[in-house]
Amino acid sequence: MGQTLQLGPLTLPWAFIVFLIGWLAATRLCELLARRHGAKAGPHIAAIALVGLLAARLAFVLQYASAYSSHPPSIIDIRDGGWEPIAGLAAIGVYALALWIWRGRSAGAVTAGAALFAAIWLGGNAALSMLAPQGARLPEFKGVALDAATLSFPDLQGTPAVINLWATWCPPCRREMPALLAAQKAHPEVRFVWVNQGERPETVLRYIQQIGLSPSDVVMDSNESLSRALRQRALPTTLFFDAHGRQVAVRSGELSHATLAQHMEQLTASR
């Protein structure tokens, strides 16, 4: 089971689907219980969502403050997936506790809704982790780089590797490129490989010359065989492998400097 659900041209992360199911179920329960006590849960539902999301985002931003300080606009760009869920759940718990202290009529309903959401969120993500492919390794892929050298992925074993599936026509791919290039410079002990999906070499060569990406780091996959083998249809997708060739993380969607730093920490910490 992959990280995303593909619906035609739309790609949705399973984690987001679990979040949405949990929030809808919690909202419905909260409204039903509040109605039984003659209370209105609407304002609290909106407030608790805002509190939880802000706390989760703020905790992540503070954790990777150095990455965000050099790129402040990315703080509000939540497409990078930078969240600290436990901080969000804790903030929701504090909000529910405050309602009990102030003897709010919706306290019980809000608490029940928050508990249901936490159960679905935590249980759903635990299930996703269990269903995720275990023991994934460097794929058996061989391609030709733009410098005409042949690169076999199993040969990368012995060095941590970051493999990025991308295309020049993909706006998120282009937006995350500066973050990947900066990480490559900051981590010379890690091999970065960009595998272009389905484009002509001359098109890709023109683009990488503009951004300063080395031709030896760009491998062509004209038939998109790698993305099919990995069951990763979304672009961009970035895979992280340790020095033993074991996959330690995968990110479907755009990486910011901060979310890439998070994955690089996980990669360099693995042995």
Please say which residue of 75, 99, 131 terminates a domain: 131
Q: In this structure, is residue 50 part of a structural domain? A: yes
Q: Give the separation between CA 4 and CA 2, rounded to whole angstroms.
A: 6
Q: Give the separation between CA 241 and CA 249, rounded to whole angstroms.
A: 7
Q: Which of 9-18, 56-65, 240-249 has the lowest mean pLDDT?
A: 9-18
Q: Is the pTM of this model over 0.85?
A: no
Residue-level pLDDT at 218: 97
- For residues 33 and 105, the model is more confident at 33
Same domain assignment for residues 18 and 90: yes
Residue 227 has pLDDT above 80, yes or no: yes
Q: In this structure, is residue 3 part of a structural domain? A: no
Task: Express each pLDDT in 29-75 by its tens digit.
Answer: 999 998 888 888 778 888 888 999 999 999 999 999 988 888 888 88
Same domain assignment for residues 172 and 236: yes
Please say which residue of 111, 131, 151 terminates a domain: 131
Domain containing 23: what range? Answer: 8-131
Same domain assignment for residues 36 and 114: yes
- Give the H or E element holding residue 151: strand 150-152
Please say which residue of 131, 154, 173 terminates a domain: 131
Q: Give the separation between CA 173 and CA 124, rounded to whole angstroms.
A: 29
Same domain assignment for residues 164 and 239: yes
Residue-level pLDDT at 132: 65
Q: How many CA atoms lie within 13 A of 82 on its CB side?
A: 27
Same domain assignment for residues 66 and 14: yes
Residue-level pLDDT at 174: 96
Residue 2 has pLDDT above 80, yes or no: no
- For residues 46 and 153, the model is more confident at 153
Q: Give the separation between CA 227 and CA 223, rounded to whole angstroms.
A: 9
Same domain assignment for residues 195 and 258: yes
* Number of domains composing the chain: 2
Most confident of 74-83, 127-136, 160-169, 260-269: 160-169
* 127 contacts 22 by C-beta, under 8 angstroms: no
Same domain assignment for residues 30 and 52: yes
Strand 191-197's sheet: what is its strand order? Answer: 150-152, 142-145, 218-221, 191-197, 161-166, 237-241, 247-252
> The domain spanning residue 261 has which CATH number?
3.40.30.10
Same domain assignment for residues 196 and 79: no
Residue-level pLDDT at 171: 94
Q: In this structure, is residue 126 part of a structural domain? A: yes
Looking at the chain, the number of H-run helices and the number of E-run strands are: 9, 9
Q: In this structure, is residue 200 part of a structural domain? A: yes
